[in-house]
Structure 1
Amino acid sequence: MRYLLSGVGGIGLSALAWALKTEGHEVFGSDRSYDQGLFPAKFDAIKKMGVEMVPQDGVIVVNGDVDCVVASAAVEPQIPDIAAALEHNVQVIRRADLLAKMLNEKAKSVAVAGTSGKSTVTALVAFLARACDLDPTVINGAVMPDFSAADDTKCSVFGNARASNSDVFVAEACESDGSVVVYKPAISLIHNITLDHKPIEELITLFQRLVDQTQNVIVYNCDDPYVSALDLPEDKAVGYSLDDHADARFKAKNIVLSPQGVKFDIIIDDVEPYEIHAPMLGRHNVQNILAAFAIMDALGADMFDCLKALQKFSGVKSRLELIGKVDGITILDDYAHNPDKIDAAMSCVANHAGRILAYYQPHGFAPTRLMKDGYIESFTKNLRAQDKLFLQDIYYAGGTVAQDISSEDIAAGIRSAGALGSVDVFKSRDALIDAIVAEADAGDYILIMGARDDSIRFIGPDILQKLSSSSLQQAAQS
């Protein structure tokens, strides 16, 4: 089969490209950023996977050189690849539909779902499954540092996918475009339901469909009121809880949070606890670990093997990722982009920081319209008197979306709500970075938050470089 992946530079499609190449298909890729000459290192890496890059002009489709065009929900019908495929009766399939087809064919498939924590849980399950010799195929929406192609030839060059011939197939199942309903896994996780992309009522309907289509085991969060209110069949449901919920099989107690990670007792079926140490920050990661252990139990893994392996887990890129430290200033990068994730990131950092200098860029006009009030509530709640929020204008990826809201609207709402900390909006990223660098002092935590815009991930290293240069200059002058 000859596939064209339109928008192949995206984290999800590049993972799927690796899986398709491993299966022996011919894979072409196109991307607007490639045509614009952006992110050359990323597209060189995609080429090294065996993907042939072509312009996103539809010509390869018109010439009859592909059998199927695959695109994510972010790719609009007006894109030349899609328009050409529709005009010439070439099959067009969503990324999620193709991924679901691959997953649904496996006997031990795992669909990891929820509005927050999917990528981390997917990475945890993948890491533990490989450690337990289950040889998993993994498709994730994030980079997993433990899945380096240099160390494991079954992994993609980005560390966002692993392809094997085993029956264990683990994938992040996204609700943002409603495609979570196409999965029919052996095991599903419903991790949480919070405002993100869609109204809560619509999200509940989507996740209930996934529950109804799960074949064997439904792992669910007993502490989430929307999740626990789903119609969960008793013979399939396996719960986990941080709050000692009566229905939970997997529980966490005696939780200790520190800058080095988390420590807690895991209790399974109310028997003897086992102490867990993991180099992961925040209470939300205790929840992620519980969910992963419940999934591993459903896969038939030995819990002692999982306990031993967990201590070596390296986390997930841009999930409270430590970028570096200089002169007592700590720089972290996080993918937080909805109110719940911002809560988790900021509350976690506040436990250790004298002051937070937070950067955030809303990731689109439609999501900002939906979540504006949630953003205002989250930042108002989390900004302490000493903290500062640096907002950038809303990310615009192109297309015909109405640009009828701005970051200034969020800032005005935060101020009106009586936030203790300060908030400023910047149109220029360079000016924003310079402002953070000028403000930063020993004891501060600089927290970079945002999604969708790949260039956000360069902000932390850029700030680190500027702070390091300033430190060297001051040392030379003293």
Structure 2
Amino acid sequence: MSRVHFIGVGGSGMSAVARLTAAAGHEVSGSDQRASHYFEALRDAGMNVTIGHDAANVEGVDQVVISTAVRETNPELARARELGVEIVHRSEALARAIDDQRLVAVAGSHGKTTTSAMVAHVLHGSGIDASFAVGARVFGIEGAVAGGYAGASGIAVVEADESDGSFLRYHPEVAILLNVEPDHLDYYGTVEKLHEAFTAFASDCRVLVVCAEDDTAMEIAGRAQREGVEVVTYGRGDADVVVTETGVSRDGVDYPVEVPVPGEHMRLNAAAAWAAATAMGADAGDAASAVATFGGTGRRYQWRGEAAGVTVIDDYAHHPTEVAALLAAARASGAGRLVVLFQPALFSRTQLHAANFARALSADNARVVIAGVHGDREDPIPGVTSQSILDAMAVPAGSAAEVVEALEDAAARVAQIAQPGDVVLTVGSGPVTYAADWILDALRERDGGGEGQPVE
């Protein structure tokens, strides 16, 4: 048994890897700058996690695990390098924790988290006790800690992150390729290099499940097929697995599938999960039935509460396609006016996709508040701000949009705007998730105090 320390253990991906590393028999510790749902889940499970980064935390450890977001100036990382401690990326730590298991890996520019969780849930619903590492809380699987679970079946499901090339460390038996769009060019440099990485991922598996509705993904699947990979396509048109209004169909056999999460994209994700689970040996009928009990994941169209007649939904959408799909799903669920608090994540992504974000947010019957860019691991890029998104928006008649830089102020503005019957969406991959609680608190105060009437 070795001692393994995780820097930034409270992150969605790191917490899952920490859980599986501990399950593999290692002594695990971790630290983070602040508490999170994932951090609390690990602490509640009895793991040694602390708030604050301190060089003393790495004394006597055998290995330190980091993500790309951990900077060289971090005192724990700096001390670990001084001591000569082995330092590994979280993807390598995960690969080591599950290296003796048959693997399903889910990749794509968006939709990875939900689809990974669906695969894990469908396997469990089919009687296969699969391990998993997913970048969000997975609801409904008893024993899951944050996004990590250690099963006994010898099968594991992982969300394969392309942002820094780390998904190439996995060698899955079955891979899912959901979609491929330009992103993370701060790492890859060019779209061509991004496509090369996805091609390498898709070519390193036995079976590739790919969306027939994504042209780029299909091009990559064609290259993988020429390398000897078995390709299974899914989609609403010409595909091996046909997505119908009531389920999926393969080889002339219909399987009813009830998808409990709104949105057309969720029906496609469910088909991908079903195809991957059956490729791993799950019974087709059991797998189809299991989809109906999928409890969702944290921050994926997650209901956070209701106050003053306003419903608050939180979602991790941080790519223009995801934002557009989220707003469409909210409409499909019967929502009336939408009040959207969007926090762009990463200056490089905002620079690349400002116009696409503008199109996604230019919605009918909506009030949009855009908070300042959450830089995360990046330094600011001159001239790249949330105003660049607002400037590109074509706001429909009856809708409105504005920029409020400070997240706390943006949340207060949303609470002021929201009226009974509205659906508030807090959207983005950064700390905007905390704004859901701030908005609910402000709405409850307004409702209880009888002051602060909503603004038209």
TM-score for both structures, normalised by structure 2: 0.90
Q: Equivalents in 2 of 1:398, 1:17: separation in Å?
A: 21
Give distance in 2, aligned partners of 1:410 and 1:71: 32
Contact 1:104 1:185 in 2 (8 A): no
Aligned amino acid, residue 132 of structure 1: S
- The one-character-per-residue Cα deviations of 1:434-475 (angstroms, maximum 9, x if unpaired) are 32223222332211101132xx22322332333344334459
Cα–Cα, structure 1 residues 15 and 265, in superposed 2: closer, same or farther, change >3 Å?
closer
2:439 matched to 1:439? no
Per-residue CA distance 1:106-133 (angstroms, 9 max, x = gap)? 2x21111111111111111111111222
1:98 alignment partner AA: A
Distance 1:205 1:349 in 2: 35
Contact preservation (8 Å) 2:70, 2:377:
no
Partner AA of 2:149 in structure 1: R
- Name the counterpart of 1:2: 3
Q: Percent identity?
A: 28
Q: Give SS of 1:331's match.
A: strand
* Corresponding residue number in structure 2 for 1:342: 323
Shift of 1:140: 0.5
1:195 to 174, 179, 182: 182
Q: Which residue of 2 aligns with 1:278?
A: 259
Q: Does the CA contact (< 8 Å) of 1:193 and 1:200 recur in 2?
A: no
Is 1:365–1:404's contact at 8 Å kept on the other side of the alignment? Answer: no
Tell me which residue corresponds to 1:162: 149
Q: Look up the equivalent residue of 1:84 and give its one-letter code.
A: R
- CA displacement, residues 218-270 of structure 1 (integer Å, 9 cap, x when unaligned): 1111110000011131651111012x12xx2211123xxxxxxxxx231112x
Unaligned runs of 5+ in 1: 255-263
Residue 137 of structure 1 corresponds to 131
1:405 to 378, 381, 384: 384
Q: For residue 418 of structure 1, report the CA deviation from its aligned partner.
A: 5.8
1:185 match: secondary structure? coil
**Which one of 430, 433, 446 corresponds to residue 457 of structure 1?**
433
1:358 is aligned to 2:340: yes
Instruction: Give the CA deviation at 1:402.
Output: 4.3
Q: Contact between 1:252 and 1:290, CA under 8 Å: does it hold in 2?
A: yes
The answer to whether structure 1 residue 229 and structure 2 residue 210 are counterparts is no
**Preserved CA contact (<8 Å) 2:341 2:369:** yes
Runs of 4+ more than 6 Å apart: none
Aligned-partner residue type, residue 371 of structure 1:
H
What is the aligned partner in structure 1 of residue 249 from structure 2? 267
Q: Look up the SS of the partner of 1:188 in the other structure.
A: strand
> Are residues 252 and 126 of structure 1, via their aligned partners in 2, closer, same or farther at CA, if it must alter by over 3 Å?
same
- Provide, for residues 266-294 of structure 1, a one-character-per-residue CA deviation record: whole Å limited to 9, x for no partner: 1112x142332221110010011000000
Distance in 2 separating the partners of 1:300 and 1:45: 31
Cα distance in 2 between the residues matched to 1:438 and 1:60: 44
Superposition map of 1:283-362 within 5 A: 283-326=264-307, 328-351=309-332, 352-362=334-344
Report the equivalent of 2:373: 394
Distance 1:213 1:99, change over 3 A: same
Query: Within 5 Å, which residues of 2 pair with 1:56-95?
Result: 56-61=53-58, 63=59, 65-95=60-90
Residues 40 and 316 (structure 1 numbering): CA distance in 2 closer, same or farther, change over 3 Å?
closer
Amino acid in the other structure paired with 1:109: L
- Contact kept, 8 Å, 2:372 with 2:403, in 1: the verdict is yes
TM norm structure 1: 0.86
- Amino acid of the structure 1 residue aligned with 2:392: G
1:213 offset after TM fit, Å? Answer: 1.4
Alpha-carbon shift at residue 360 of structure 1 (Å): 0.4
Q: Equivalents in 2 of 1:235, 1:52: separation in Å?
A: 42
SS at match of 2:61: coil
The DSSP-based 3-state class of the residue aligned with 2:243 is: strand
2:346 maps to amino acid: G
Matched to 1:167, the amino acid is: G
- State whether residues 195 and 338 of structure 1, in contact with CA within 8 Å, keep that contact through their aligned partners in structure 2: no
> SS in structure 2 opposite 1:83?
helix
Written as runs of structure 1 = structure 2, the 5 A alignment for 1:102-251 is 102-106=97-101, 108-147=102-141, 152-153=142-143, 155-156=144-145, 158=146, 160-198=147-185, 200-214=191-205, 216-230=206-220, 231-233=223-225, 236-242=230-236, 244-245=237-238, 248-251=239-242
1:371 corresponds to which residue? Answer: 353
Closer/same/farther in 2, CA of residues 122 and 44 from structure 1, 3 Å limit: closer
Q: Distance in 2 between matches of 1:126 and 1:86?
A: 36
- Which secondary structure state, in structure 2, belongs to the residue aligned with residue 229 of structure 1? helix
**Measured at CA, do residues 104 and 187 of structure 1 come closer, stay the same or move farther in structure 2, by a change above 3 Å?**
farther
Which letter maps to 2:80?
A: A
2:111–2:269: 8 Å Cα contact kept in structure 1? yes
- What's the CA shift string for 1:389-445, capped at 9, x where partnerless? 10111124477554642112221222xx56553211113334323322232223322
- Residue 454 of structure 2 corresponds to none
Cα distance in structure 1, aligned partners of 2:30 and 2:323: 33
1:9-28 pair list within 5 angstroms: 9-28=10-29
Partner Cα distance (1:42, 1:280) in 2 = 22
Helix, strand or coil for the counterpart of 1:195?
coil
When residues 433 and 280 of structure 1 are mapped into structure 2, their CA distance, relative to the original with a 3 A threshold, is same
Q: Is the 8 A contact 1:110 1:188 kept in 2?
A: yes
Let me know the Cα RMSD of the aligned residues: 2.4
Contact 2:342 2:427 in 1 (8 A): yes
- SS class of match (1:134): coil
Would you say the 8 A contact 2:255–2:285 is kept in 1? no
**Matched length:** 440
| Per-residue deviation, residues 332-383 of structure 1 (Å, max 9, x unmatched) | 1111001110111012223333321111011222322232232223223xx2
SS in 2 for 1:213: coil
- 1:50 and 1:328 map into 2 onto residues whose CA distance is 39
Indicate how the Cα distance of structure 1 residues 50 and 265 shifts in structure 2: closer, same or farther if over 3 A, else same. Answer: closer
DSSP 3-state at the match of 1:277: coil
After superposition, the Cα gap between the structure-2 partners of 1:221 and 1:103, relative to the gap in structure 1 and judged at 3 Å, is farther
| Counterpart-to-counterpart distance in 2, 1:396 and 1:229 | 33
C-alpha distance in 2, partners of 1:113/1:193?
9
